[in-house]
Chain A
Amino acid sequence: MNVGSIIKYYRTKKGLTQTDLADGICSTSHLSKIETNMYTANEETLNMLLQRLDLRLEDEKNRMGEIEDLLQEFIESLFAYDDEQIDHLYIQISEIKDYIETSEYVNLYHIYMYRYYVWSELPEKEKEILTILQRIKTTFTPAEQNLYLFIQALNLSFSSDYKASIKLFKKFLDNPLPVGKFWTAEAYYQLALSYSHINQHEASVIYAKKASEIFETESNWKRLIHTQMILGICFMELRLFTEAGALYKPLVRNSRIFFRDSVYPHILSNYARCLLTSKEYSKARKLMEEALVLLGKGSEQYMVVLLNWLESGLKIDLLTEEWERNLNDFHDYSLNLDNKYYFYYAVYLKKMQFSQVDGIKYAIKWLYPYLIKHSFYQEAEELLPGIIDYYSEKEDHEKVIHYYDQWRELVKKERSYNEEGL
């Protein structure tokens, strides 16, 4: 315990100068050294100083214990995505911020606060804490250094730099220092997420399973559901439809019971996408229609579901008036969101509605290059059979070879990605 810092904290709070406090007990320079923790005072001097400040060493020790518990509870709530408790604890911590800053928990406090500001999406506060962390990182203990590594990895993942994030999370996990199971579980979870984002789904499955085990033991239900969402996406991408089916049935049920207002429609949407991939159109459309009712119109998630719904309609030739109305809405929302991905799909579908040839021509010129540029390889792969058929019909063999080469590269890329991740 940094008694010196505590003495300084209370002295300043009471408006006393060092001369006032030291008067008759020790010299001012001696007190100055005690306050900066450069010097440990003997018990007698310490007791006299504390007495003058109306403090008892025992009470301060208890208070430190309470701070440790409070910070621990705060970070655990952040890991459990316990929104209400996070806000409640944040207020409690903010009220004693000055005191914590004088204690040995000052570094942990800043590391946890950074995590909090990232979670709350408060970029200004985030920057502020990051500057402080940069300044104090030389004072970190080895355990704190490792936690700082975790925070940096998380930051990279949030800025979509998944490869760099993977590197740091692995470095974090390599460190043998005990940091608590929930840190480890979260690192596995983040690795699963990052690998999935860069299309390395096999590696993602491995880390998602590791994370699941710990979340289950720790009864972190929210994160367990999140992990299963990633697994569902991976199984679909790897065409493991039996595994996906076995996963989605309880996942849909549990999320409906416990997370109806949050991730339930997202899970319905992902399950529907999986069913579409395995060509179970009618079942998929039912799920998507349920999700669309639950989601806010025009939101990102709404757009994902609507796009899948529109595409499935086109595939099974169900181009009803409702389909056309929804396509117009989709087009308008894509402009509102200022999102090229949805916009290119909207125009592509509009063209496909009347002429497959026009649709394919548009895909060749705009949609396909866009998907490749932004690493949407799965979607790009879906377009290729149509494009190759189009050029075959035109007997343009050079283009057929060109796009077949691209198809082969995409498949190869997927394989090499997965090997790289394992």
Chain B
Amino acid sequence: MKKVYKPVLTVSFTAAILFAGIASVPAVNEELVEKFRVHVEKGEAPDSGKVIYPPDKRVS
């Protein structure tokens, strides 16, 4: 297997949050709220992501 090269990311997530917290105006972004109002297309996505829900129909 090839040797994996991973660049080290120097700025931590916390630092990024602090930076963004200072740089941005902490207001509700209505555009994003609207963007998150999503409609799921059936059959395209699994029911539960990375967990398994109990069966609700005959288990064949």
Contacts and interface: CB of A to CB of B under 8 A. Distances in A.
Interface of A: 83, 118-121, 158-160, 193, 196-197, 225-227, 229-230, 233, 236, 262-263, 266, 269-270, 273, 300-301, 303-304, 307-308, 319-321, 324, 339-342, 353-357, 372-376, 378-379, 385-386, 388-390, 392-393, 397, 400-401, 404-407, 409-410, 412-413
Given A374-B38, A392-B9, A400-B20, 17 more contacts: A233-B53, A262-B55, A266-B54, A269-B52, A273-B51, A304-B50, A374-B40, A378-B49, A379-B49, A389-B11, A389-B13, A393-B11, A400-B16, A401-B24, A404-B21, A405-B29, A405-B32
Contacts of B4: 319, 353-354
B20 A374 contact: no
A392 B57 contact: no
Contact of B36 (A196, A321, A324, A409): A409
13 contacts: A160-B42, A227-B54, A303-B46, A304-B51, A308-B50, A342-B46, A355-B7, A385-B16, A386-B9, A388-B20, A389-B16, A392-B15, A393-B10
A301 to B, nearest CB: 5
B5 A354 contact: yes
A109 B53 CA distance: 30
Main secondary structure of the interface of A (DSSP, over half): helix
Contact of B58 (A120, A225, A270, A386): A120
B16 A388 contact: yes
Contacts of A193: 53-54, 56
B52 A413 contact: no
